[in-house]
Chain A
Amino acid sequence: MDSVITVENLGKKYLLNRAGHGSYLALRDVLSQGFKNLGSRLLHPLRCSPFTSICAREEFWALRDVCFEVKQGDRLGIVGSNGAGKSTLLKILSRITEPSTGSVRIKGRVASLLEVGTGFHPELTGRENIFLNGAIMGMTKAEIKRKFDEIVAFAEVEKFLDTPVKRYSSGMYVRLAFAVAAHLEPEILVVDEVLAVGDVQFQKKCLGKMEEVSAKENRTVLFVSHNMAAISQLCSQALWMEKGHMVVRSATPEVISSYLSRGSVDFSGERRWSHDASPGDGRIRLLAVRIFNDLGTVSAVVDMARFFQVELEYEILQSCAGMRTGFWIYTQEGVLVFVAGDNEDREWIGRKRTEGHYRSRCTVPAGLLNSGPYSVTAAADIQNGEMLFCEASALRFTVEHTSVSRLDGAGRSPGIICPSLDWKISSVGTAGL
């Protein structure tokens, strides 16, 4: 079949201003630099001016030598860690920004959904925003009119059509925005991490809609997500990008499993960093992350029916108020299970950690996580402030299913968590009364 997207040697270079200069050029600086140049040239007409450029710049390649083809009707998932160049790629494909090298050929109309509700205006009503957003996404007025009822029904906001969206709940807002996007009918749909918002139920509905549309009408979809479950549901093919390069492109299950087991992840239940490689900055450094089982030994495998502990070992080099460490636990599919922070330790409330060596250990109760592989992302931040470090997938561990975890015994019960709950059955009468 014909390829609808052909990408050849695509590269995108950004110029980064060195630290000290704002990210924006100010006319003031340009002028004062100009005068300085002029002055120094007048004073020393023979000497070369030291201020030849306004500010020193560094090159940064967000994308480099990317080549691939997409055939009509393909659904291609794009995975990769943050900063891998996924969004830049989509921006080039949707013509928002220009590439620095290489070329792209696209056959057909492209609609890009890089953000939910682009151009929504809080003062306008739901009805008005549907038209506005639709037009921004590239629909014609006639097309929007034709699909208007469908969009409204999909978003479930019939009653609030003439209310300004600023009065909408965030759920309604997202639903409405999605609904418009879901009814786009381009030949090629480009979707960035937009399913990350909205409730799970609605996410499913959207994925289903996208799947339906692309399968029925043979549309091409490019889909970026950190949610492996969504990627494997929607896409038959996947592309893994890392640091602006393409790592592999293959069938989705293969790409996802090699992406998830990508290097530097340890399976021993402990991960340590050498002093010069440790995550952190001049204030705090992460030294190690460990998983302990209920017996107090370091282990990458824990029993579902018993508690386990996550420990972060770190060094505080410069004490700051509100500093805390914590972790995120993700399933293998990249679904966030929960977040924990050591500011919950009551004994340390209002106390500042002075410079020194610390361990923060958190106990995760028995019967919370369902069986399966998980990963821990370790992080530290200033409360309500900046991130000090965030080490993604610092450690992986497995929760083992044991026969005692649930009374019905064998097999993994579905769901992300598997709490042991309290049930009471009481008889309130005989049948037939």
Chain B
Amino acid sequence: MSDQQEIIIKPGMGALDYWRDLWRYRELFFFLAWRDILVRYKQTAIGVAWSVIRPLSTMLVFTIVFGKLAKLPSNGVPYPVMVYAAMLPWQFFANALTESSNSLIDNANLLSKVYFPRLIIPASAVIVSLVDLFISGAILCGIMAWYRFLPDVKVLLLPAFLLMAFLASCGAGLWLSALNVKYRDFRYVVPFLVQFGLYISPVGFSSAIVPDRWRFFYFLNPIVGVIDGFRWAILGDAFPMYWPGFVISALLITLMFAGGVCYFRSMERSFADVV
């Protein structure tokens, strides 16, 4: 009836079967994500509307400021479409970062009362932002239809870039959520990071306007790689990919994710004592 597996609890070793446990608790992972989604869209009547209004209004402002007033190039693509294609990964990243960095504190009662691999909590917070991403994606389709803009076959590569955005959000989210438990004033840093990131990432403009000399270094901000990936996949040849930059972005994301997992794992054991 039961697998009579033996658990040994000793100081300093954490859970040996961590990854197996993670798999065993996969249902909890979905339940937590499901809870957050339910609550989100139950609590506020404008819950869904909100995830429509926010990217739309940001797009509008960027189109007016960068496209109409500053007259930045959009390589022949309608400016709103160009902005919105970048808004998708950016909004996802920003939301995921905000949600997951607070997730451990918000679920403090769970941490101190029940055992499960803690990795589930920030990861499920990222999933919730994925829902917003899909809503935004539907809107993008609408906008593209409005401008009669048809993407080419490269759009099929979009899931790969989505995975990249997911890894970036998870990686950063793991770092921030663990730091947030350790240093309680870290939560003030996150909104600043998100706001700041919006301006140093090519959301309102194309990364091609960065001078060639600096372009490689611009991709040290890994989100630049993700955004360019999205634009390349959705908008096609108007936005050729700058591959050296993309590779460095992808590399950094992988590093950030791996580092995040390691750091989180090392901090995880003391969460229940600190929270």
A interface list, Cβ under 8 A from B = 14, 24-28, 30, 91-110, 112, 114-115, 118-119, 121, 123-124, 128, 131-132, 135-138, 140-141, 187
Contact = CB atoms under 8 A, between A and B. Distances in A.
Contact of B7 (A28, A102, A105, A138): A105
B148 interface: no
Contacts, number: 117
Interface of B: 2, 4-12, 14-15, 27-28, 31, 34-35, 38-39, 42-43, 107, 109-116, 179, 182-186, 189, 269-270, 272-274
Contacts of A27: 179, 183, 185-186, 189
A118 B113 CA distance: 7
A379 to B, nearest CB: 27
B9 A104 contact: yes
Given A28-B185, A118-B110, 14 more contacts: A24-B183, A93-B9, A95-B115, A97-B272, A98-B12, A104-B7, A118-B109, A119-B109, A123-B39, A128-B38, A132-B31, A132-B34, A135-B31, A138-B116
Contacts of B14: 98
22 contacts: A24-B183, A25-B182, A25-B183, A25-B184, A26-B183, A26-B185, A27-B189, A96-B115, A98-B270, A103-B9, A104-B7, A104-B8, A105-B9, A106-B9, A108-B2, A110-B7, A114-B113, A118-B110, A123-B42, A128-B38, A138-B116, A187-B2
Nearest to B112: A96
A132 B35 contact: yes
Given A98-B269, A115-B113, A124-B35, A140 B27 contact: yes
Contacts of A121: 35, 39
Nearest to A101: B11
A190 B121 CA distance: 23
Contacts of B116: 136, 138
Nearest to B111: A96
Contacts of B2: 108-109, 187
Contacts of B38: 123-124, 128
Contacts of B4: 107-108
A96 B269 CA distance: 8
A138 B115 CA distance: 9
Nearest to A95: B115
A35 to B, nearest CB: 16
A101 B34 CA distance: 38
